[in-house]
Structure 1
């Protein structure tokens, strides 16, 4: 489903509000609801956001879930927007696709194991780590259409703009603008849209 999101994003304006991404994720056939909650309990220096799926139901062979996104309180609006979009990307891992099932954090135990991998001394990486990387690149890939990203690269090379200025325009942290213009971008996005 991410390739469909990526393709539809190409026909949209340079900047889209968080609600556009939220509404698109709500249209996924396995998504019943998405709740977004802020909390001061998350240490934003270690984890800015997380998502978990719950209340799995199956009707006629189709599974559906409720998703809850937890966002660390106190982030800048740019970080909050980007983290929300990144967490929404986890909704695109279809639960009934065996390849993607391993990316879901669907129970309290799975969520706890996921958090232990981030903060504990886990020796092996759980599939959720791969999901985090994929969701990060998925979010970066839909921040702006490809033609705008290409123009952004040209402006930065010509020194008519800066990473920081483009971050303000796109309302995302400069770190994500750097990823958009990095040498890794094309390889990561190509893998995601060819799935």
Structure 2
């Protein structure tokens, strides 16, 4: 049986290059058997984080009181960043039990992002953040279109910023989308 994320990835392959976040949201909710997700826009230090996912078992009062998961987005993000962070936080619906963030582990998780020590072993929760970024990147561009854009990039017909504008995603993630490791990473996430 395919992984739940693989179902989403395959769904995204059928979308046009102009991918709408609500199409992805609706498919994630369907795959994960969730009725809805709410969004809160609030002030946060974007040097540390741009968003958060308050899942069904997060223990957060908003979720406890409403029974609905929340995506928290930083106020002031531009359109591309808000869209990307929204999709990235949606990817946490696919987290395994040991990857889910609760209010108890949230502060230590933030500390691990800003900690200068790279010698510590990364927790499953930390690794789920990395996976969520790659999963979101893959949702923005069907593979056929990605390969065409990569060819255009290599031949000098477009630059990374031009690709970012076409896909309406932050330019800093285009290098991941065009990376030679992309197919292997997405392959491991869709097993």
TM-score scaled by length of structure 1: 0.84
Alignment match, 1:153: 150
What do residues 135-176 of structure 1 show as CA deviations (whole Å, max 9, x unaligned)?
111011111110000000010111111110111111011112
Equivalent pair of 2:52/2:71 in contact (CA under 8 Å): yes
Q: What secondary structure does 1:182 align onto? A: coil
Q: Which runs of 5+ in 2 are unaligned?
A: 59-66
| 1:7-156 equivalent positions in 2, closer than 5 A | 7-40=10-43, 42-54=44-56, 66-93=68-95, 100-105=96-101, 107-119=102-114, 123-156=120-153
- Give the distance between the partners of 2:116 and 2:177, measured in 1 at CA: 31
Aligned length: 178
| 1:162-177 equivalent positions in 2, closer than 5 A | 162-177=159-174
More strand by share: 1
Deviation at 1:177, TM superposition (A): 1.5
Deviation at 1:120, TM superposition (A): 6.0
Alignment match, 2:64: none
Alpha-carbon distance change, 21 to 128 in structure 1, aligned in 2, over 3 angstroms: same
Alpha-carbon distance change, 29 to 139 in structure 1, aligned in 2, over 3 angstroms: closer
Equivalent pair of 1:52/1:104 in contact (CA under 8 Å): no
Q: What secondary structure does 1:54 align onto? A: coil
Superposition misfits of 4+ residues, deviation over 2 angstroms: 28-33, 110-126
TM-score scaled by length of structure 2: 0.85
What do residues 68-115 of structure 1 show as CA deviations (whole Å, max 9, x unaligned)?
11111111111111111111111122xxxxxx101111x321323323
- State the superposition RMSD in angstroms: 1.9
